[in-house]
């Protein structure tokens, strides 16, 4: 706890899992420590190209494909110092598993699909996972799909449970092009875009003089 009573509350980034059918919240996973950096890439979805129709060069066919790269650290040292039962017994396994199962179908889904295959069902629908929402302050609440996930375990307790690790996440923001307007992910994306538009309006406009020219 901070020794300064008026210190601002430190918010944490994290992931919220939502049922894709009922929109009910299933789990909230807060990052233990906020990453020092967060990198984003926007791939513009234009129609025109170098060899395309000149009349289409300024047209956009949809939102850009936004990807996010986050590297976070998790450490069980504080929990071990206060003899937290879970950390003492399994180290970071529980924290890591909460993230890892996002990219796994459930064991129940796998067993159900296997039973259907054994009964001769010709077509088995791909298993739908919870909607993953990345939260990085109230300004950035984005439906995402995890595209990359790596874990580097750096220290272990005497029972070989990991007690310090680095997590690297690659995320792709899901837009209305991916999930449609009626999906919960679509409404979250539209709120994200509309908030971005409102923030852009608050940016101070430049002048020709700033650019060293008198006009165009």
Q: Convert the pLDDT of each residue in 63-85 to its tens digit.
A: 999 999 999 999 998 888 888 88
- Residue 39 near residue 69 (C-beta atoms within 8 A): yes
92 within domain boundaries: yes
At residue 8, the pLDDT reads 65
pLDDT over threshold 90, residue 161: yes
User: 184 is written with which tokens?
Assistant: 């919960």
pLDDT over threshold 60, residue 4: no
pLDDT over threshold 60, residue 22: yes
At residue 102, the pLDDT reads 94
- Residue 111: phi and psi, rounded to 5, are -65, -40
131 within domain boundaries: yes
Mean pLDDT of the chain: 89
Number of folded domains in the chain?
1
210 within domain boundaries: no
pLDDT over threshold 70, residue 51: no
User: 118 is written with which tokens?
Assistant: 């054994």
63-90 in b/e form (b: 16+ CB < 10 A) is: beebbbbbebbbbbeebeeeeeeebeeb
- Residue 162: phi and psi, rounded to 5, are -65, 135
Arithmetic mean of pLDDT, 136-161 = 95
pLDDT over threshold 90, residue 109: no
User: 164 is written with which tokens?
Assistant: 């310090």
pLDDT over threshold 70, residue 5: no
Range of the domain at 60: 14-105+127-202
Distance separating the N- and C-terminal Cα atoms of the chain: 56
Specify the higher pLDDT residue, 49 or 108: 108
pLDDT-derived band of residue 187, with 50, 70 and 90 as boundaries? very high
Arithmetic mean of pLDDT, 122-132 = 80
pLDDT over threshold 90, residue 61: no
At residue 1, the pLDDT reads 45
153 within domain boundaries: yes
| Residue 130: closest CA among 113, 116, 151, 144 | 144
- Residue 116 near residue 125 (C-beta atoms within 8 A): no
119 within domain boundaries: no
87 within domain boundaries: yes
What's the chain's length in residues? Answer: 216
155 within domain boundaries: yes
Those residues whose C-beta lies under 8 Å from the C-beta of residue 211, and which sit 6 or more positions away, are none
pLDDT-derived band of residue 192, with 50, 70 and 90 as boundaries? very high
118 within domain boundaries: no
E runs forming strands in 8-115: 14-18, 25-30, 38-43, 65-75
Those residues whose C-beta lies under 8 Å from the C-beta of residue 42, and which sit 6 or more positions away, are 64, 65, 66
């Amino acid at each position: 706890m901070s020794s300064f009573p008026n210190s601002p509350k430190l918010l944490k980034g994290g992931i919220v899992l939502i049922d894709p059918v009922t929109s009910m919240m299933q789990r909230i996973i807060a990052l233990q420590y906020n990453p020092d950096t967060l990198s984003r890439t926007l791939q513009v979805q234009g129609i025109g190209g170098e060899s395309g129709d000149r009349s289409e060069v300024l047209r956009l066919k949809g939102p850009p494909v936004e990807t996010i790269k986050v590297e976070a650290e998790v450490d069980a040292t504080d929990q071990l110092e206060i003899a937290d039962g879970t950390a003492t017994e399994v180290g970071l396994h529980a924290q890591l598993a909460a993230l890892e199962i996002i990219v796994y179908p459930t064991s129940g889904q796998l067993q159900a699909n296997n039973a259907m295959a054994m009964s001769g069902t010709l077509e088995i629908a791909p298993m739908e996972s919870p909607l993953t929402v990345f939260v990085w302050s109230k300004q950035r609440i984005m439906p995402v799909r995890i595209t990359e996930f790596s874990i580097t375990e750096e220290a272990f307790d005497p029972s070989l449970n990991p007690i310090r690790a680095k997590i690297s996440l690659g995320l792709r923001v899901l837009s209305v092009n991916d999930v449609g307007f009626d999906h919960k992910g679509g409404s979250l994306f539209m709120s994200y875009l509309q908030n971005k538009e409102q923030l852009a309006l608050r940016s101070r406009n430049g002048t020709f003089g700033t650019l060293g020219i008198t006009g165009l």
